[in-house]
Chains A and B, each alone.
Chain A
Amino acid sequence: MNCSSDIQFEGCGEGNLDRSLQGPLSLLFLSATLWLVVSSFIAAIAFWQLKFPGFIDYQCAIQNPYFGWFFDLIHQGLNYGRAVAASKSILIYGWLVQGFLGVAIWLTGHLTQKSPCKAGSYFLLGAIALWNLGILVGVVGIFSGEASGFAGFDFPKYASAILFVAYAFIGLGIGMRFAMKRCTKSTPAEWYLLGAVFWFPWFFAVAYYFVFCKVVFGVMPALVHAWYIGGLEVLVLGSLAIAALYYWIPTLLGVALNRVHSAKGAFWFFAFLGAWTGVRHLVGGPIPAWMITSSVVAGVLLLIPAIMIANHQMVPLWSHWCKVKSNPVLWYLATGGISFVVWVSLEAFLSLRGVSAALRFSYFEMGVSAVLEYSFLSMVLFGSIYAILPKLTGKELPCCVTCCSKCQFWWGFCGIITYFTGTFCAGVFMGLGINFAPMAFVATKNLASPFFWLSVVGGAMVLFANLIFVKNVAATLLAACCNSNKEGCCS
């Protein structure tokens, strides 16, 4: 396992490697951050409509003789249902999947020490452009009323096909680079990375077939959709985040992982259990009970590999607290790593029968998915991007960016805690209200209302943190582009 220790790579032809990846990855990270902000704004518009359902209403807009058509368009596209679908899809495919693919491409280069040739770079650039085109087409499709209606897999058929083709080029490139690697001993980061690279197209293809090809009617598409979302959350995005943590923590700290001999066991445990967890999203639903039971059990058992992984990664962070304190990249990674365990526990808790009777279908689910999407996945992605950018541009991060990244961390961190507290309390009150049959349904929402406002505040803080992030990425890439010196940027 030591034959390709990550730390030894520093310095051997790294500059060349980073130079060949600079173009494609700059485009990728910039577009991913832009999608993150677009998604946040659309989510904000959607959220606001929960309290003020008529605020983009056509009724008043139609009075305007000149811009009536424009308001009509906005009303159609950004109506709550469509806006939620769009913001979720953009967040998953535009930001999370795309961002983590960027991290995977960069890690692949550094783990295999193979830089793409010039043609390869252009090829990669083309694939990334195609991926973004697919997302753009998909978003327009959702706004114009062609969403599939399966949350998290909402893009219309044609947009999903474009995404699949674009991914095939990227995934094939990563796979081939590992196939050509001379040293055949592998590190934990590589297992998770390769796993995710292969799992994503497989899960995606099965979901595509059942959702769009209409081979079976009835609950089957819903079942496949739940299974796909579980695979995407745990095995694809989760794996990539864990791979990033396995790479960055020893590299940045300069120390070995804790008890890493158990890493292989943890990986296989994680891989075999992770693929079973999706169906728990249908607890109580119209599908065979044995499937739900097995999925709930898998979800609870997933805590074992999660704790093992956290033990490998978080113990070195804890014992080198001084280094962590001085490096904001490690703040993000530590938050992400801990949130992984928190998320696995929350999902396991939510899938228990008694709990799910009360909390399923309430705001609480929004909070749990925010823990996954923001505090686990996005935090790891922020940290990874902040760690990759200076290597990619060949310069230290401009001092203003380092400073702002600390600021972004605190806004995001406090924001997500506020948001989660809000949705948790709102979810508990709403869920208990709905399950108390004598209470009128409309009254349950009033119960949740004060806490709902707390989550609005939290969401706004996260939105602000995302804006800082976009500014940081743009500033770093711009500084590298213009070849300006550090002082120039700071002033």
Chain B
Amino acid sequence: MNGYGRLFVGILAAFVLSWVALILVPLNQVGNLMPLEDQVTGDMNPPALSGLAQRGSKVYAANGCASCHTQQIRSESGGADIARQWGTRQTVARDYLHQSNPNLGAMRLGPDLANLGADRPDLNTNSGPKKKYDAASLHQLFYAPKSVSGSSHPSYSFLYEKREIKGIPSGMGLSLPVGFETEEGKEVIPSEDAKALVAYLLSLNRTYALPEAPVKP
């Protein structure tokens, strides 16, 4: 074998070693995880994702939501994520079992969304009474972010359709606050993508306990 042959074998070895250790071994470790049954309620944790939410996860990825929002709660020693009430415990590999794209994210220009669908204080001010976000408030944030005080969220109004009301209103139109209403005789309807995105965001709830990540009382 000449010098180039040996060089090639070394180059291959450097790759294969890291591939085996960092891809194959974890594939066996986290690739075979299963949902667990809750001993008290009998629910499966993490709960399965609806088809609409699964589609919403793609909308989330395609619009680069992960360039501002993370979906991972670090342990108490690893940051103030739990102190900020973004979650009740550290997120672990099992939490993402049903996600085709885990959308972990790498920047926090916006708050963490790992538990957006759970009871929690206001995301932006980190205070106030605990409540669940509902679909209407998320639609309002995406269509007319300026109507939400203190928000610097970009607008995703292209996910909505403004159309004439023919006959009686469809009932799906957004109810927007004063100053942001649509013209008389028109309504704003969320597209399938917008509905899917909201369904996905509301499905984000990792407050159940897992043996590897117990919730502190």
A residues with CB within 8 A of B: 49-50, 53-54, 57-59, 62, 72, 75-76, 79-85, 145-151, 178-179, 181, 184-186, 190-191, 194-195, 198-199, 202-203, 206, 210, 214, 216-224, 227, 231, 235, 268, 271-272, 274-276, 278-279, 281-288, 291, 294-295, 353, 356-358, 360-362, 365-366, 434-437, 439-442, 445
A441–B4 touching, CB < 8 Å: no
Q: Which of B95, B96, B103, B111 has the most CB of A within 10 A?
A: B96
A184–B2 touching, CB < 8 Å: yes
Given contacts A147-B61, A194-B8, A219-B104, contact A286 B154 (CB under 8 A): no
Give A421 to B114 CA distance when docked, in angstroms: 31
Listed by A's residue number, 23 A-B pairs whose Cβ atoms lie within 8 Å are A49-B154, A53-B155, A54-B145, A54-B146, A75-B155, A80-B154, A81-B66, A151-B106, A184-B3, A185-B3, A217-B96, A218-B97, A218-B102, A219-B30, A221-B100, A222-B96, A272-B18, A294-B21, A295-B22, A353-B77, A358-B79, A362-B108, A441-B84
Contact of A149 among B8, B60, B146 (CB under 8 A): B60
B residues with CB within 8 A of A: 2-4, 7-8, 10-12, 14-15, 17-19, 21-23, 26-27, 29-31, 33, 58-68, 70, 72, 74-75, 77-80, 83-84, 90-93, 95-109, 111, 123-127, 144-146, 150, 152-158, 162
Given contacts A84-B67, A199-B15, A291-B22, contact A353 B78 (CB under 8 A): yes
In the assembled complex, which residues on chain B have CB atoms less than 8 Å from the CB atom of A190? 7
In the assembled complex, which residues on chain A have CB atoms less than 8 Å from the CB atom of B33? 218
Cβ distance A302 to chain B, nearest Cβ, rounded Å: 13
In the assembled complex, which residues on chain A have CB atoms less than 8 Å from the CB atom of B72? 284-286
Q: Which of B8, B61, B91, B146 has the most CB of A within 10 A?
A: B61
Contact of A58 among B58, B64, B157 (CB under 8 A): B157
B61–A284 touching, CB < 8 Å: no
Contact of B157 among A59, A145, A151, A231 (CB under 8 A): A59
Q: Which of B18, B70, B80 has the most CB of A within 10 A?
A: B18
Give A92 to B113 CA distance when docked, in angstroms: 28
B104–A286 touching, CB < 8 Å: yes
Give A147 to B102 CA distance when docked, in angstroms: 14
A53–B67 touching, CB < 8 Å: no
B4–A184 touching, CB < 8 Å: yes
Contact of A218 among B18, B31, B144, B157 (CB under 8 A): B31
Give A439 to B83 CA distance when docked, in angstroms: 11
Extra A-B contacts (19), CB below 8 Å, given A441-B126, A442-B125: A50-B109, A80-B68, A145-B62, A151-B67, A194-B4, A195-B14, A217-B98, A218-B98, A219-B104, A221-B102, A223-B30, A268-B14, A275-B15, A276-B22, A287-B30, A356-B78, A362-B107, A437-B84, A437-B126
Given contacts A81-B64, A365-B106, A435-B80, contact A286 B96 (CB under 8 A): yes
